[in-house]
Structure 1
Amino acid sequence: MGRQTDQTRRPTADDGGQSKRKSLFSSVLGNVLEWYEWSAYAVFAPFIAAAMFNSDDPVSALLATLAVFAVGFLMRPLGGVVFGHMADRHGRKIVLVTTMLMMAGGSLAIAIMPTYGAIGAWASVLLVLVRMLQGFAHGGESATVYTYVAEIAPKKRRGLWGSVVFVAIFGGSVLAYAVAGGVTTVLSASSVAEWGWRIPFVLGGLLALAALYMRRNMEESEVFHAQKADAKQADLKQADVKQADVKTAAVKPAKRSGSQVTRAILLMIAMTSGITAAHYTWTSYASTYAITEKGMNPDTAFWVTMVAQMIALVTLPLWGMLSDRIGRRPMMIGFSVLMIAVSIPLNTMITSQGWTLLVASATALVIVAIPGALLAAVLAENFPTRVRTKAIGFAYSISVAVFGGTAPYLNALFNSMDLGWLSGAYVMVLCVCTAVACFMMKETKGIDLKDA
């Protein structure tokens, strides 16, 4: 009888593994589309600048558009904390569904938004409000996806599984550049400026609704269920203990736990600073720089950047698997050293020729892919389950908002002042911060997240 019972349980375990893989696919597919919508704004920044701001001063209009891009990032910490708190209390799935719906709505709103020529400055105001909404949703989405994928992954393959999150990030950006390349190739420059720039946002909103349909069947994280069950059991036991005993037994550990979480947050902010600055410099600004500063044809810049990102994308699982073997810290430190060495040379090699952007972007993005593949695992492994999503949402979003979201704006500002070398120096300084944080971190490869 016992053997029959065991035999009946085996399919359940197999089904559970298959269900986790389906959940991984659904969460990552939705993340691809979220990042597509987010990246489409940066890719079409020159056209949005002309449509939504005063075109009498093109440089000012471009800076204003990139500033709106940064404003969206500044909303991410708030979204990370609010949705992170929701995810830690009510589960990861509900947040992933909610943020997907908000991003889809924001994308469709941009697609039908009146231009500056139609309603004046109100067009700029509406654009800011929509980007703030998307930034708020994106902060919750990113934190929850990092948490969710790490929690459903096998602990010995968490680096590999976690790398899929950055595959989604690159995948969304690749999709945005592919659509941009198609639009600028098929349509004339005047048609793109007049109405063609809206196409990516219509497409993004519709595809996001399809991803939302898939996410409804995702299963909840077992780590989350285990933490909630443990917390409930602890509450029941605590109810039987005298109040004095509760104070002496529980207060001090809570304080130590709080200080450990605070330290981890500060380390994660510093660790992510160089990663996110390098990432957004080479995914969101490099093509804009080639078009506006070097005179490269827009369709050439878009297609070349897409190819560079595809090259980096295929390396992500390899970096994830390698981290499962040799650890997270040495690979993070290796990224810092490499990016410090190549930042300025890669910036200076870009000309109006497409191949220069291809070589520079591909090299930079393959290096960025090293820590990108590890982020989900490293972030999740450094926080306890009870506050994991909220802590990741705050630490990651703060770092991305301060150092990543501002990178395209700062790069454009430096170049407008003929101080382009500062773009590379900015990334280099932040990569030093990443290296220092990684030296201070403990190795977390293979830990059990239920015990974290």
Structure 2
Amino acid sequence: MSLTSERVPRSLDSPKQPAPRKSLAASTVGQLLEWFEWSAYAVFAPFIAQVMFNPANPVSALLSTLAVFAVGFLVRPLGGVVFGAIADRRGRKFVLVTTMLSMAAASVMIGFMPTYEAIGVWASVGLLVARMIQGFAHGGESATANSYVAEIAPRHRRGQWGSIVFVAIFGGSIIAYTLGGAITNLLDETQVLEWGWRIPFLMGAGLAIIALYMRRGMAESVVHQEAEGLDDTQSFGDTEQAQNFSQPGDVPSPVAATGRSSQFKAIVLIVAMIAGITSAHYTWSSYVSTYAIVEQGMAPSSAYWATVAAQVIALISLPFWGRLSDKVGRKPVLYFFGIGMIVAQFPLMAMITDQGWTLFIAAALALLIVSASGALLSCVMSEVFPTKFRTRNIGLAYSLSVAVFGGSAPYLNQLAQSVEMPWLSSVYIVVLCLVTVVAIRKLPETRGIDLNSVR
């Protein structure tokens, strides 16, 4: 049966079944908080560099701060594999609660960490340890959230529901940049350096209590329960719904298979697909404000507010990109990102000056292109891996690609500036987007497949 004519189950979309939407909200709030805590580090990087590293060499201090940012990403694959394996065995809910608590604990560490002036190099070491804890937990959170949201979504709206994962990514960043703009407006630079930069980390840890309460009420996905052969009253739906969700005529996954060679091929393709997406995302959501402040002399508050406004526009577009992929397929939308970013990267970066409006226009256009691909990550990754290994494989592929190509992007961008070869940073993005386009071409169209068809 073709994708366009297949019969679509409506049971999970019924008003009598509010549980999936309630759990989607709980998952999203938790992700929003975790991404806020994660993004706060990038937002306040220029200030953290001055208080947590040797201030005698500002360039070295900033590079060291960005290097710690990258190290947090490097431990993400380990967290993705470890927590992913746990999620595939014990369920998605357990991991989502555990990772949130770990992120909150690391934020408390950063919020109360003594400065370089107080304890010397141990301040830098403590910051590194806290970021490694965050990275480990974040790898598991990202993998599990991507699996969970795709598994609880109605099959014909999986792209739209899956886009919520990236809404949380942008949303957490927006909150962090909004707070950054407010703090730099209300406090002078001395106050920000003394204590203002600690506010988002301590605030995030406090808000984790609310997110924890919501996540404890989440239900396990019926897709995971069926794959494990479990009978749990906290899973979505009953036996009739499970049968409806796996009707005869559903489209099986053309990629996912339990064989090692098939899984390895799928992991490699997903790593390659994400390479361009994550490098572009972290360049335009995390690095450009630092670039505008340090290299172009833009006022910090102007850079923060311009970045916030651009990310709001991109966030609003995400569900529309997801819904479009539910109608026309995943690959056309992904091709739009790859080709669009290749064409736009150089002129958009060249547009940025010391004026806030230049950063806003450049970042808004770039992030609109990025959002086309980001909206689809949850559904595409879930559609190419079998349920039995889905979270573990997503944890490895997603976290590895983000760590290598995304977490390193701010550091490599700043390094290119420091050696007076700024064009190298854009070359890096363009080359990785070409890799993404090749991977998209190799991947099959997965819109509308049944996640239960391959285990």
Q: Distance in 2 between matches of 1:255 and 1:37?
A: 36
* Aligned residue in 2 for 1:399: 401
Give 1:12 shift: 11
Question: Which amino acid is 1:305 matched to?
Answer: T
**Would the aligned equivalents of 2:223 and 2:451 in 1 still touch at CA under 8 Å?**
yes
Match for residue 218 of structure 1? 218
2:356 corresponds to which residue? 354
Q: 1:447 aligns with which of 418, 434, 449?
A: 449
- Relative to structure 1, is the Cα distance of residues 90 and 440 closer, same or farther in structure 2, using a 3 angstrom cutoff? same
Which residue does the alignment assign to 2:318?
316
> d(CA) in 1 for partners of 2:274 and 2:16?
33
Conserved? CA contact 1:350–1:360, under 8 Å: yes
Cα pair 1:45 1:65 within 8 Å, conserved? yes
Note if contact 1:187-1:196 (Cα within 8 Å) is conserved in structure 2.
yes
What is residue 64 of structure 1 aligned with on the other side? 64
Mapped partners of 1:375, 1:431: distance in 2: 15
TM-aligned CA distance change 1:263 to 1:304, over 3 Å? same
Look up the equivalent residue of 1:60 and give its one-letter code.
S
Summarize the alignment of residues 138-153 of structure 1 with structure 2, pairs less than 5 Å apart: 138-153=138-153
Of the three residues 371, 374, 377, the one matched with 1:372 is 374
Contact 2:13–2:154 at 8 Å: present in 1 too? no
CA distance in 2 between partners of 1:267 and 1:230 (Å): 31
CA displacement 1:292-315 (0-9 Å, x = unmatched): 000100011001100000010000
Q: Is the 8 A contact 1:104 1:209 kept in 2?
A: no
Q: How does 1:249-288 map to 2 (within 5 A)?
A: 257-288=259-290
Q: CA deviation at 1:358?
A: 0.3
Asked if the contact 2:12/2:154 (under 8 Å) is kept, the reply is no
**Structure 1 match to 2:249:** none
TM-score (norm 2): 0.91
Tell me the amino acid that sits aligned with residue 174 of structure 1: I
After TM superposition, give the deviation of residue 207 of structure 1 in Å: 1.1
CA contact (8 A) 1:73 1:401 kept: yes
8 A contact 1:80–1:392 mirrored in 2: yes
CA distance in 1, matches of 2:372, 2:58: 36
Look up the SS of the partner of 1:140 in the other structure. helix
Q: In terms of mean alpha carbon deviation, does 203-212 or 366-375 score higher? A: 203-212
After TM superposition, the structure 1 = structure 2 runs for residues 175-254 of structure 1, keeping only pairs within 5 Å, are 175-229=175-229
> Following the alignment from structure 2 to structure 1, what is the Cα–Cα distance between the partners of residues 260 and 120?
49
Cα separation, partners in 2 of 1:132 and 1:297, compared to 1, 3 Å: same
CA distance in 2, matches of 1:35, 1:13: 28
**How well do the aligned residues superpose, as a CA RMSD in angstroms?**
1.7
With the length of structure 1 as denominator, give the TM-score of the two structures.
0.91
Deviation at 1:209, TM superposition (A): 2.1
CA distance in 2, matches of 1:227, 1:12: 18
Tell whether 2:98 aligns with 1:98: yes
The sequence identity of aligned pairs, in percent, is 60
Q: How does 1:321-332 map to 2 (within 5 A)?
A: 321-332=323-334
How many pairs does the alignment contain?
421
* AA in 1 matched with 2:89: R
| Cα separation, 2, equivalents of 1:316 and 1:104 | 27
Q: Which runs of 4+ in 1 moved over 2 A?
A: 10-17
Distance, in Å, in 1 between the alignment partners of 2:392 and 2:430 is 29
Aligned-residue offset at 1:330: 1.3
Are residues 214 and 353 of structure 1, via their aligned partners in 2, closer, same or farther at CA, if it must alter by over 3 Å?
Answer: same
The aligned amino acid for 1:275 is: I
Aligned ranges 1:14-163 → 2 under 5 Å: 14=14, 17-163=17-163
Say if 2:160 and 2:319, in contact at 8 Å, map to a contact too.
yes
Q: Is the 8 A contact 1:339 1:428 kept in 2?
A: yes
One-letter code aligned to 2:43: V
Q: Distance in 2 between matches of 1:162 and 1:192?
A: 37
Q: Give the Cα–Cα distance (whole angstroms) in 2 for the partners of residues 404 and 188 of structure 1.
A: 32
Question: CA 1:258–1:201 in 2, change beyond 3 Å: closer, same or farther?
Answer: same
CA distance in 2, matches of 1:418, 1:102: 39
CA deviation digits over 1:2-54, x for unaligned, max 9?
xxxxxxxx999957630110000000110001000000000000000001000
* Structure-1 residue corresponding to 2:167: 167
Amino acid at match of 1:371: S
Deviation at 1:362, TM superposition (A): 0.2
Deviation per CA, 1:241-294: give whole Å up to 9, x if none: xxxxxxxxxxxxx99722111100000000000000000000110000000000
Equivalent-residue separation in structure 2 for 1:151 and 1:406 (angstroms): 31
Contact 1:349-1:360 at 8 Å conserved across structures: yes
Determine which structure has more spread, i.e. the larger CA radius of gyration: 1
Q: Is the 8 A contact 2:257 2:263 kept in 1?
A: no
- Contact residue 72 and residue 132 of structure 2 kept, 8 A: yes
> 1:113-139 CA deviation, whole Å, 9 max, x = no partner?
000000000000000001000000000
